[in-house]
Chain A
Amino acid sequence: MLFGRQAGFSVRLIAITELREKMSPGKLSHSVAILLKALSLGYQFGFEIMEMTGLPSGTVYPALRRLERDGLVTSSWEAEDAALKESRPARRYYELTRAGREAEATATKRYPLLSRLIPEKLGKAL
């Protein structure tokens, strides 16, 4: 029975290829690299990232979705109580996953000037 062995081989190949495609430095565009850098420096939600990076919303949000789909970023909702204390709606916070941090390190190697573009977050930005 050849099906079992061949299926096993082909699925392993697919998994390796998918992982390489996601992590490939060639896939890291400049704007995605900026986004990863901003997230690594502690900027957590869309408007804050737009403010600090200068990227338009049409770039930031689809890129965040794509990064989340690819497992480089994870998101969570802020507790309603914390938002109510500041009299504002709850935000959706994004943060890097382990794979995202690795991708960010690759991006920083590729674009060494990134660190100078975005200042580190000090306390509350907005």
Chain B
Amino acid sequence: MRLGKECLNWALALGKRLVPLTGRAEWAKEWRAELWHREHGVRSVREGRQGALSLAYGMVADAAWLRMDWAQSCARGSAYTCLWVLAAYSLLCVAVERVAEGSWRAFAGVLATRFLGSFVFVAVPAVFAAMVTYPLRPLRCNGAHGGARRLLSARTRWNFFLGVKLGLTLLLGFLATVVATEPARALAGARGAWAADWLELLLSALVVTASLRWALLDQEQRCQKCLRCLRQPTRVGPPSRNFLEWSGVALACEDGHGLLHVPQMDGSWCWYDLWVERDSGFTGLFRS
């Protein structure tokens, strides 16, 4: 009995460390109330040492679940997660290609040949066209939002993230193209090398277009402050017959930094998505 109680105390202490800080006090309060029933309740679940062990396991499992859920919610849609995923897929492609080539030297040679032979001819004009046609909007990330100051300004982080994401997306596109065309090259042999080159060129054009499109669209749907993906889409405003009333979708930052208003019908007076920063009066409703 004493061993069971010690085990439960140990589990409670461990659980308290595992649970994220914001919910720690409430978690401990709930479990203390539950443990009270074990000791003083009319009935109890599986009394004795086995019951105590089962309950201790449950306590730790509950705390671990809360920690995991918190970590997942922090990572979900964050800029770091996006970059890590892109980098991980790129590394996977590198590993596959390295295995296919057999040595690092051959691998480097293939990459240089393919990059300078076809990919660069597609990627450079596509990036140039994307940059030139990227819609100019009113200033964003003007630093009006309060909160903790960081080393880099919001706009610098926004542009830095966009640059790194574009770079990684294009790198992944290039590596994926190289890996995907490898079987075609093996099948075509030396005689059909020209056909494989054309296939690679076409595939590169497709991949670059899709990559740039995804990277820019993804950037449009991120919080201007913390760069997390915006969520909770909500329809706002009724559709108007004369198109003069605003209607569309509002997306919110989970941390409450602001809202992005996406018009359903673009007009001369609402041709861009409008980012509205949260007023400081709503601070208590959000995590930060």
Contacts and interface: CB of A to CB of B under 8 A. Distances in A.
Interface of A: 1, 3-8, 10-12, 14-15, 45-47, 50-51, 56-62, 65-66, 69, 88-92, 126
Of A3, A5, A14, A89, the most chain B CB neighbours within 10 A belong to: A3
A66 B217 CA distance: 31
Given A4-B264, A5-B264, A89-B36, A56 B249 contact: no
Contacts, number: 112
Interface residues of B, number: 41
Interface stretch (B61-69, B96-104, B164-172): B61-69
A23 B273 CA distance: 31
B59 interface: yes
Contact of A58 (B38, B58, B217, B271): B58
B29 interface: yes
B133 to A, nearest CB: 11
Contacts of B58: 56-61
A57 B221 contact: no
Q: Is the interface of A mostly helix, strand, loop or mixed?
A: helix
A10 B33 CA distance: 45
Given A3-B220, A69-B69, A90-B33, 17 more contacts: A3-B217, A4-B248, A4-B262, A7-B249, A7-B262, A8-B248, A10-B217, A10-B221, A11-B221, A11-B251, A15-B233, A51-B44, A56-B57, A61-B61, A62-B62, A91-B30, A92-B29
B55 A57 contact: yes
B258 interface: no
Of A4, A46, A59, A91, the most chain B CB neighbours within 10 A belong to: A4
Contacts of B65: 61-62, 65-66
23 contacts: A3-B217, A3-B273, A4-B248, A4-B263, A7-B262, A8-B262, A11-B262, A14-B231, A47-B37, A47-B45, A50-B45, A51-B43, A57-B54, A57-B59, A61-B59, A62-B62, A65-B62, A69-B69, A88-B36, A89-B32, A89-B36, A126-B42, A126-B43
Contacts of A51: 43-45
Nearest to A16: B233
- What are the nearest 7 A-B pairs in CB distance? A57-B58, A11-B233, A61-B62, A62-B65, A58-B58, A58-B61, A89-B33
